[in-house]
């Protein structure tokens, strides 16, 4: 229950943070809200020699509307996402999903950057970012680059982040007015990670689904973009046959582990149920 010893660094600019990470090498880890990293350290599943605390870097905070995009600094907390009218109005699925993360104590400290950068397949926000076609700004000693959320996740805890790089911001294209959205998360109890969850963002025209994105949480080693499932409903009025086809196409890409949340077959089954529920609720919200 007691972490190994480490040196603590508290830079005040991104430039200083990436310089520190580059000079300290692989034994250094960024520290954001600490609500994934510190429990891992206490279990000695992570034993970094250096922690680079991002908490004093003011430029990593904040939610800004820039034209047709919402730009969110990596150190914006999940609580701040929930408190933001801009988020609730522009990307209501992010508000809905943030409310389903853990409990208020975790959300007061846990950050959007830590949640999406960690690469934990159980985290809720990666699937939301994939459904919204968001991108991440990654900054290292050599400069910044943009990576689409859909290209970022490579395996459990493996992402496109290079050693020494920080995820500094999340950029979300604001979905059109009247879009439908839903995040359906099955969990064993309040505060738990998902047994299975599905996110849907869609638009309808004349009652017919025009565009659709479906993504999945905790049903594989990474969040999943279920492209074939979305194709199964585009051009339909979400009749039962279309819903069943979408659920089956989503289940075809799921590969959950059998664990304390249930056997793999059960998790795939409820994963399909989450897809049909999210599609139905998203369609009802679309105008």
Ligand X SMILES: Cc1cc2nc3c(=O)[nH]c(=O)nc-3n(C[C@H](O)[C@H](O)[C@H](O)COP(=O)(O)OP(=O)(O)OC[C@H]3O[C@@H](n4cnc5c(N)ncnc54)[C@H](O)[C@@H]3O)c2cc1C
The four Cα atoms 22, 23, 29, 30 give a dihedral, to 10 degrees, of: -70
Q: How far is the CB of 205 from ligand X (least distance, A)?
A: 33
Residue 31, interface with ligand X (CB under 6 A)? yes
- Per CB under 6 A, does 30 bind ligand X? yes
| Contacting residues for 144 by C-beta, under 8 A, at least 6 apart | 137, 138, 168
- The reply on whether position 32 binds ligand X by CB under 6 A is yes
Rounded to 10 deg, the angle between the 264-285 and 240-253 helix axes is 140
Quick check: 159 binds ligand X (CB under 6 A)? no
Q: Considering only 5-13, 99-107, 236-244, 259-267, which stretch makes contact with ligand X by CB under 6 A?
A: 99-107
CB atoms within 10 A of CB 7: 12
Considering the rule CB under 6 A, would residue 73 count as an interface residue with ligand X? no
Question: Whose CA is closest to 181, among 287, 77, 102, 100?
Answer: 287
Q: Which of residues 180-209 bind ligand X (CB under 6 A)?
A: 191, 193
Range 109-148, binding ligand X (CB under 6 A): 110-111, 113-115, 117-118, 123-125
Nearer to ligand X, 81 or 226 (CB): 81
36 binds ligand X (CB under 6 A): yes
CA distance 250 to 226: 6
Strand partners, 213: 201
Nearest CB to ligand X, comparing residues 35 and 277: 35
Tell me the backbone φ, ψ of residue 224, rounded to 5 degrees. -120, 140
Considering the complex, what minimum distance in angstroms separates the CB of residue 96 from ligand X? 13
Give CA–CA dist 101/115, Å, rounded: 10
Q: Provide the minimum distance between the beta carbon of 235 and ligand X in the complex, in angstroms, as a whole number.
A: 33
- Candidates 24, 37, 220, 279; binder of ligand X (CB under 6 A) is 37
The residue with tokens 């905070």 is: 61
C-alpha radius of gyration, the chain, whole number: 19
Tell whether residue 175 is a contact of ligand X (CB under 6 A). Answer: no
Residue ranges that bind ligand X, judged by CB under 6 A:
29-37, 39, 54, 74, 101-102, 106, 110-111, 113-115, 117-118, 123-125, 161, 166-167, 191, 193
């Amino acid at each position: 229950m007691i972490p190994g010893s480490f040196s603590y660094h508290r830079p005040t600019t991104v430039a200083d943070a990436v310089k520190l990470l580059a000079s300290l090498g692989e034994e250094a880890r960024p520290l954001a809200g600490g609500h994934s990293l510190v429990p891992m350290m206490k279990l000695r599943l992570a034993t970094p020699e250096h922690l680079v605390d991002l908490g004093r870097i003011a430029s990593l905070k904040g939610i800004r509307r820039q034209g047709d995009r919402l730009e969110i600094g990596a150190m914006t907390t999940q609580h701040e996402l929930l408190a933001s009218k801009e988020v609730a109005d522009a990307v209501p699925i992010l508000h809905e999903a943030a409310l389903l993360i853990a409990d208020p104590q975790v959300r007061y400290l846990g950050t959007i950057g830590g949640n999406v950068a960690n690469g934990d397949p159980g985290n809720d926000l990666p699937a939301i970012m994939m459904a919204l076609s968001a991108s991440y700004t990654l900054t290292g000693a050599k400069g910044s680059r943009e990576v689409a959320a859909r290209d970022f996740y490579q395996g459990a805890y493996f992402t496109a982040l290079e050693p020494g790089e920080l995820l500094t911001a999340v950029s979300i294209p604001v979905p059109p007015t009247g879009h439908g959205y839903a995040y359906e998360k099955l969990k064993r109890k309040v505060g738990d990670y998902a047994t299975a969850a599905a996110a849907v963002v869609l638009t309808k025209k004349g009652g017919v689904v025009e565009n659709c994105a479906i993504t999945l949480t905790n049903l594989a080693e990474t969040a999943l973009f279920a492209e074939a499932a979305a194709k199964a409903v585009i051009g339909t009025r979400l009749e039962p046959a279309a819903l069943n086809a979408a659920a089956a196409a989503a289940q075809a890409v799921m590969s959950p582990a059998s664990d304390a949340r249930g056997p793999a077959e059960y998790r795939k089954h409820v994963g399909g149920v989450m897809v049909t529920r999210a599609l139905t609720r998203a369609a009802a919200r679309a105008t």
